[in-house]
Structure 1
Amino acid sequence: MGGGPTRRPVIAIAGLACETSTFSPSKTLAPAFHPKRGQDIIQKYPFLHPGTPLSSLAEWKGALIGHALPGGIVTREAFEELTGEIVSRLQETVATSAALDGLWFDIHGAMCVEGLDDVEAELLRRVREAVGKDVIVSASMDLHGNVSRELAHGCDLITCYRMAPHEDTMETKERACRNLVELLVQKERRRPIKAWIPVPILLPGEQTSTRVEPAKHIYAAVPEVETIGGVIDAAIWVGYAWADEPRNRGAVVVTGWDEKVVVESAEKLAKLFWDARKDFVFVAPHGSFKECLDAALSSKSRPYFISDSGDNPTAGGSGDMTWGLTKLLARPEFKDASGPTVIYASVPGPKAVHTAIEAGIGAIITVTAGAEVDNIHSGPLTMTGRVHSIKHGDKDALIEVVLQVGSVFAILTELRKPYHHEKDFTNLNLRPRSADIVIVKIGYLEPELYDMAKDWMLALTPGGVDQDLERLGHHRIRRPIWPFNKTFEKSPDLSARIIAMSNKPLTGPDE
């Protein structure tokens, strides 16, 4: 990573992450972030463990990070509590260190907080007040985050995932840290040039998966740009479609040392993204929930996966809607235990779970679950079935129960949980590979589910992360924006804006 001063640079770590739907009625509280502090942060990231190159080249100081399961808006109280602790811990680090050289800003980019817009920029503003203007900040983000002009201004280095599903999460975070260290060990510490371009496109992740075109070739161009001399990093953000703030849109940022190269590279990527806007389609065959069930029943492919996408808890849905399970149990094909085997994941129901525990495995019980938070489209669901299995100790669900109702094995949880791995099912004495149909509250299938599925469809179901964006009712996003607006009076300005770090506040519109 090059030579540098004999003193190792000191780098703090801080950030909050929560993908937040403003169309979900749920609220995210401070405990949901499962905050980590100090050495626990270092342990979380293998690339910072003792003996690794990054650990030997810099001294890492964990302040506080918190990563919440996606959900509804973060309460102001939760944000102020966690941000206050981040600031105080950073102030302590500054006071007790010979110098603080850098900060890794570990965020998602789509968090919304009551009463605040562009909250990651606000968090960074407070962080900068604590650590001082000379500290170099490197941010790592989800490609479904949002990069406003203010956030780009506050960071010196910024990058995001290049894969959706996000199989490169750790690789991206390590890249953000490596870029930071490489800058700090230089004899002359210069702030790199940042070219930022907002792109007026706002699409759901299920239309922008890098598994398929056009996102596949768009994101393939990113590492190619990075190899150009004078470029440090290049990144494209799709933006987050299920929140309603002016910052919600696509963006491109290229950082480097050669202004001409950085500008040309950013404009090339922005044009590539914009020119492909009409080519984005859903990552899989899609239809109504009924159409997906009909297709699964008529198919010979087993297991057949269906995404109940509108209440996806890993995109910001509340996770406790009963709409899908209610429709499923109403189908005559599944009324009898001899019908097609269906696994449904999942619906929270704390009282139902504890009733099942008291009754025990094998017992026939009648319970009511779901819709304690989100009852906009359907209310609590009452069902009678046999307790198939019980599991304690899950980090998200806490307790899980499987209730067999006819031929449907419905997973009920104490708290909401995403189901992304085969072990999530096998630990509950379920065999997804042997099932006829597996229905999961998810958008595009995560890698293990994708590998298990012999065929699948995306169900366009209602909820806080409805894939039919236009029926959600956005009214604060910047317009015109594709696909909300199909025609533009004039072509969007895709010229690069050079965003320089300074002590002066930004002026002018964020466009």
Structure 2
Amino acid sequence: MRRPRPRVAVCGIHIESSTFTPYLSGEADFVVTRGDELMARFFWRDYTWAQAVDWVPVLHAQALPGGVVKASAYGAWKAEILEGLAAAMREGGLDGLFFDIHGAMSVEGLDDAEGDLISAIRAVIGSEPFVSASMDLHGNVSEVLFDETDLLTCYRMAPHEDALESRMRAAKNLVDRVLAPRAEDGSIVRPAKALMHVPVLLPGEKTSTRLEPAKSLYAQLPAVEVMPGILDASIWIGFAWADQPRCQAAICVYGDDDALVRSVAADLGEQFWAAHDRFEFVAPTGSFAECLRVAEGSVAAGRTPFFISDSGDNPGAGGADDVTVALAGLLEWEPLRSGRFSGIYASIVDPVAVAAADAAGVGGRVDVSVGGKIDTRAPGPVEVAGAEVVALADDPMGGRVAALRCGGLVFVVTSRRHQYATAADFARLGLEPTAADVVVVKIGYLEPDLFEMQAGWMMALTPGGVDQDLLRLGHHRVSRPLFPFDTGFDPLPLPVRFVAGH
């Protein structure tokens, strides 16, 4: 029976987890919101359509990408979510649930964490509430996640400039469904849905929507979703740095025209496969030493700042944030050692080094052993003697942070893992990347602020838990055949998992 005002719960756990990094993500890595604080995350909460339902915020936990989530942390949040939903069911029932997730969370002992969570949620709320999920396009769509939800959608831009809009799309489609005329038995009308897995697993840095073929694949989605009989269509790249059977590209299409839903899913999936061997890195690539050689030429030609992505240990994709290959290379690079060039390196996590800098104060000098304590692959900790402390600050994400100078290099050390992706990140320490000759960041593709700054850019194919060279990481549990691990196979026709509307 329809309630006077529909009730929609909100919950989720949002993280992408590399199974190849030794870092374990725990409670301290997450920002947890409940109640009004949870709803304050959504810019659309005061829109007219959003005001037409009663929102029941339960719990949301979100973290910077990291390693596998500790089972204890996941178990506690899962229990709180289930208890909150059970209370909501007792207090007035639910018409819907907005499942706000990333889609690439890994948890100790689980191969499909989001599938585990949504299955447990369905056991509490039953099959009647309409479940709509918003995801990152680097998430994974397992058959369990697809089966237990009524609508899945994901971002359409990488970098993810449309993340907030994608959440709104998922929420508005949910609200529209619970407000729409019901079936004769009083139930919410479910759209038809189709899932097609595409046997491709590529890093985000090869599938940016700034470049072809991803640009054209994603550009057609707005026109697809307004086709009569179609509600939503999405393309997932999948998450390349987890070794699980669910990790692969996926297409999901929803709508009220069963035949069209099936055919659109098949068409999008076949287009993806047709382009599978045309994806290229979003920037020129090379070893770190090769990137430094190109950077030297760029600076000599007056093209500054030259950016280098230390991509294999990118904390924004799950890297440990303390692999020292790039820092060691910069400290040994003659143009920086001599002070001929100016450079910034951001950042590396080492709370002990930050504490030493804090004790010395701005203007003081420190001898510190930096990095290599979480992910211990070569070269390990870097010994730095006589580094000048040039700045100290408190960062809302990085904790206490310090900027240390050696020769022409200023490198940033943080007490918590943090990705330096915006101008504001650097400004907290009084650093101006546009004034430097060379800027090295632990990142993959450059986020918008940095992309606008660069006069030249390369991605260094450095080692780490999110190594861009997937073949040297050692996947052995993904479904096969799977490109690029396998080549020369033809998967067509791709099977479609289809559920008719009802």
TM-score range, shorter chain: over 0.9
| 8 Å contact kept, 2:393–2:402 | yes
* Counterpart contact for 2:393–2:400, Cα < 8 Å: yes
- Judged with a 3 Å threshold, the aligned counterparts in structure 2 of structure 1 residues 396 and 326 are, in CA distance, closer, same or farther, namely same
Q: Which amino acid letter does the alignment assign opposite residue 492 of structure 1?
A: L
In 2, distance between residues paired with 1:160 and 1:53?
A: 23
Residue among 269, 293, 307 paired with 1:305: 307
Q: Which residue of 2 aligns with 1:45?
A: 42
Give the CA RMSD over aligned residues: 1.4
- CA positional deviation for 1:5: 6.7
For 1:74, give the aligned amino acid. V
1:313 CA drift (Å): 0.2
Q: What is the number of equivalent residue pairs in this alignment?
A: 493
The TM-score with structure 2 as length reference comes to 0.96
Question: Paired residue for 1:230?
Answer: 229
CA contact (8 A) 2:322 2:371 kept: yes
Scaled by the length of structure 1, the TM-score of the pair is 0.94
2:70 corresponds to 1:69: no
Measure, in 1, the Cα distance between the counterparts of 2:193 and 2:274.
23
The unaligned stretches of length 5 or more in structure 2 are 183-187
Does the 8 A contact of 2:251 with 2:265 survive in 1? yes
Aligned 8 A contact 1:30 1:81 in 2: no
The alignment status of 1:142 with 2:141, answered yes or no, reads: no
Q: Give 1:261-410 correspondences, 5 Å limit.
A: 261-299=260-298, 300=301, 301-336=303-338, 338-384=339-385, 385-392=387-394, 394-410=395-411
CA contact (8 A) 2:239 2:248 kept: yes
Residue of structure 1 equivalent to 2:238: 239
Aligned to 2:16: 19
How far 1:83 sits from its partner (Å)? 0.5
1:91 aligns with 2:93: no
CA displacement at 1:6 relative to structure 2:
7.8
Check whether the contact 1:377–1:462 (CA below 8 A) recurs between aligned residues. Answer: no
Alpha-carbon distance in 2 for matches of 1:377, 1:62 = 45
Secondary structure (helix, strand or coil) at the match of 2:164 reads helix
Q: Distance in 1 between matches of 2:214 and 2:319?
A: 24
Give SS of 1:34's match.
strand
Offset from partner CA, 1:47-95 (integer Å, 9 cap, x none)? 11x3x22332111111001111101111111111111111111111112
Q: Could you list the per-position Cα deviations for residues 149-199 of structure 1 after superposition, in whole angstroms to 9, with x for gaps in the alignment?
A: 111001101100000000000000000000001111012121111111010
- 1:445 Cα offset (Å): 0.3
CA distance in 2, matches of 1:30, 1:6: 37
Tell me the percent identity. 45
Matching residue of 1:56: 51
Q: Deviation of residue 455 (structure 1)?
A: 1.0
Q: 1:230 to 1:430 in 2, by over 3 A?
A: same
Aligned partner letter, 1:498: F
Specify the alignment match of 2:165 in structure 1. 171
- CA–CA separation in structure 2 for the residues paired with 1:350 and 1:218: 43
Write the letter of the residue equivalent to 1:346. S
The AA in structure 2 aligned to 1:183 is R
Partner of 1:442: 443
Distance in 2 (alpha carbons) for counterparts of 1:197 and 1:476: 20
Equivalent pair of 2:189/2:501 in contact (CA under 8 Å): no
Once residues 120 and 91 of structure 2 are traced to their aligned partners in structure 1, the CA distance between those partners, rounded to angstroms, is 19
Matches within 5 A, 1:243-262: 243-262=242-261
Q: Which amino acid aligns with 2:210?
A: R
Aligned mates of 2:143, 2:357 — CA distance in 1: 52
1:496 to partner: Cα distance: 2.3
Partner of 1:239, secondary structure, is coil
* Alignment check: 8 A CA contact 1:152 1:499 kept: no
The structure 1 segments of at least 4 consecutive aligned residues displaced by more than 4 Å after TM superposition are: none
Q: Which residue of 2 aligns with 1:202?
A: 201
Give the whole-Å Cα distance in 2 for the aligned partners of 1:331 and 1:122. 48
2:492 matched residue in structure 1: 492
Shift of 1:350: 1.1
Task: State the 1:494 CA deviation.
Answer: 1.8
1:204 aligned partner, one-letter code: P
* 1:278 partner SS: coil
Q: How does 1:180-195 map to 2 (within 5 A)?
A: 180-188=174-182, 189-195=188-194
Are the equivalent residues in 2 in contact too, given 1:18–1:67 (CA < 8 A)?
yes
5+ long unaligned stretches in structure 1: 503-511
What's the offset of the Cα at 1:7?
Answer: 2.0
Q: Which residue of 2 aligns with 1:113?
A: 107
Does structure 2 conserve the Cα–Cα contact (< 8 Å) formed by 1:311 and 1:319?
yes
What is the alpha-carbon distance in structure 2 between the residues aligned to residue 479 and residue 501 of structure 1?
Answer: 31
- Distance in 2 of aligned mates of 1:427 and 1:291: 31
CA contact (8 A) 2:397 2:416 kept: yes
Per-residue deviation at 1:501? 9.4
Q: Is the 8 A contact 1:221 1:269 kept in 2?
A: no
SS in structure 2 of the partner of residue 272 of structure 1: helix
Q: Output the CA distance in 2 between the equivalents of 1:397 and 1:497.
A: 43
> How far off is 1:225 after superposition?
1.1
Code of the aligned partner of 2:33: K
Q: Is the 8 A contact 1:156 1:501 kept in 2?
A: no
